[in-house]
Amino acid sequence: MGANDAESEDQSQMTRIPRHVAIIMDGNGRWAKNRNSPRHVGHRAGADSVRTVVEACAKKGVEALTLFAFSSENWKRPKKEVGLLFDLFMIALQRDVKRLKKNNVCLRVIGERTAFPEKLQEHIHMAEEATAENSGLMLQIAANYGGRWDITQATKRVAEKVKSGDLQPDEITEATINAELSFADLPDPDLFIRTGGEQRISNFVLWQMAYSEFYFSEQLWPDFDAAALDLAIQEFSQRERRFGKTSEQIRAIKNQ
Ligand code: IPE
Ligand code: IPE
Ligand code: MG
């Protein structure tokens, strides 16, 4: 867990490729508004960007990509928009499974899925099953996900262990909590991207982003493409990740 300072090197350009990229895909509504179109037009266009970015990450050898599709707080939106987002999610799951298989992508949905309509839950399950054996990119769709929800559900599981006597309170470490979070098997996100110009975390991944590099793009999500992803990765590549150490220490390690 924690600091993962072993991003892979893309030998051709000497660009450091983040192992795990996490993205808040924001700006669909404004993209539609700029075109005098209803918000759902923006969400549909956003789904195309998802395909582009997933394939670009798979090609680059990124190990994991976590996309924020629906937050715990997005239930507060008009009922019609929420329903439409679920419909789009279901259509994408049905339509894109073949494509995910072809690209060797393994799909996983993180978040409180029991709140979703039964049919959507079934489709999520089917898509996960169909791609479970794929060994390439791990694509995590965060749906009805919230960083606070994740820490809360992990805490409940730890409390159950204490209650049953399997764990003593003074044995609880960061690793104990980490192990109960939604993606304990993956490295922490190295690079966090938010499109749409806002500079906030909106209850996305909290615990595991303790040392992620933050990158904010003014581009609205439907405009975000492979070239925009390249720019973000290039900037990431130039950052010095210190994980609490001094710059001199980091350079000494690099020169070893
Ligand atoms: C992000 O785009 C998609 C979801 C939250 C589902 P928005 O719908 O938030 O777009 P803006 O921020 O209103 O432009
Ligand atoms: C965050 O975007 C959630 C997703 C992209 C799914 P929002 O548009 O909901 O965030 P706020 O409300 O502007 O903070
Ligand atoms: Mg938004």
Residue 7 is predicted with a pLDDT of: 61
Which one of the listed residues 4, 5, 10, 26 is annotated catalytic? 26
Give residue 70's domain range. Answer: 17-146+188-237
Q: What share of the chain is helix, strand, coil (3-state, %, to 5)?
A: 50, 15, 35
Q: Is residue 255 part of a domain?
A: no
Strands (DSSP E) along the chain, which ranges?
Answer: 8-10, 15-17, 20-24, 64-71, 106-110, 138-145, 191-194, 213-216
Average pLDDT over residues 118-147: 97
Q: What is the mean pLDDT of the chain?
A: 95
The response to whether residue 49 sits with its C-beta less than 6 Å from ligand 1 reads: no
Which of 23, 24, 25, 26 has the most ligand 1 atoms within 8 A of CB, as the residue to mutate?
26
Residue 3 is predicted with a pLDDT of: 43
Average pLDDT over residues 49-62: 98
The response to whether residue 26 sits with its C-beta less than 6 Å from ligand 2 reads: yes
Q: Is residue 182 part of a domain?
A: no
Q: Is residue 165 part of a domain?
A: no
pLDDT, tens digit, for every residue of 154-190? 999 999 999 999 999 999 999 999 999 999 999 999 9
Q: For position 115, which CATH number holds?
A: 3.40.1180.10
Give, using CA atoms, the residue closest to atom 13 of ligand 1. 29
The response to whether residue 195 sits with its C-beta less than 6 Å from ligand 1 reads: no
- Residue 26 a catalytic site member: yes
The model scores a pTM over 0.75: yes
The response to whether residue 203 sits with its C-beta less than 6 Å from ligand 1 reads: no
How many domains, in total, are found in the chain? 1
For the CA of 196, the closest atom of ligand 2 is 8
Residue 255 is predicted with a pLDDT of: 87
The response to whether residue 25 sits with its C-beta less than 6 Å from ligand 1 reads: yes
Q: Is residue 206 part of a domain?
A: yes
- Residue 74 a catalytic site member: yes
- In sequence order, what are the beta bridge partners of 71? 145
Phi and psi angles of residue 138, each rounded to the nearest 5 degrees, phi first: -95, 115
- In sequence order, what are the beta bridge partners of 108? 140
Q: Is residue 203 part of a domain?
A: yes
- In sequence order, what are the beta bridge partners of 109? 141
Q: What percent of the chain has pLDDT over 90?
A: 93
For the CA of 24, the closest atom of ligand 1 is 1
Q: Is residue 200 part of a domain?
A: yes
Average pLDDT over residues 30-40: 98
Give, using CA atoms, the residue closest to atom 1 of ligand 2. 202
Task: Specify the 3-state DSSP secondary structure of 213.
Answer: strand
pLDDT at position 13 over 70: no
The response to whether residue 196 sits with its C-beta less than 6 Å from ligand 1 reads: yes
Residue 2 is predicted with a pLDDT of: 43
Contact 17, 60 (CB under 8 A): yes
pLDDT, tens digit, for every residue of 92-106? 999 999 999 999 999
pLDDT at position 236 over 80: yes
Q: Is residue 169 part of a domain?
A: no
Q: Is residue 118 part of a domain?
A: yes
Contact 201, 147 (CB under 8 A): yes
pLDDT, tens digit, for every residue of 67-100? 999 999 999 999 999 999 999 999 999 999 999 9
- The DSSP element (H or E) to which 89 belongs, if any, is helix 79-102
pLDDT category, 12, cuts 50, 70, 90? very low
Residue 14 is predicted with a pLDDT of: 78
Residue 159 is predicted with a pLDDT of: 98
Average pLDDT over residues 60-70: 98
Q: Which of 2-11, 93-102, 188-197, 202-211 has the lowest mean pLDDT?
A: 2-11
CA distance to 45, 186, 246, per residue, from 84 (Å): 13, 31, 49
Give, using CA atoms, the residue closest to atom 11 of ligand 2. 202
Residue 254 is predicted with a pLDDT of: 84
Q: What percent of the chain has pLDDT over 70?
A: 95
Contact 95, 107 (CB under 8 A): no
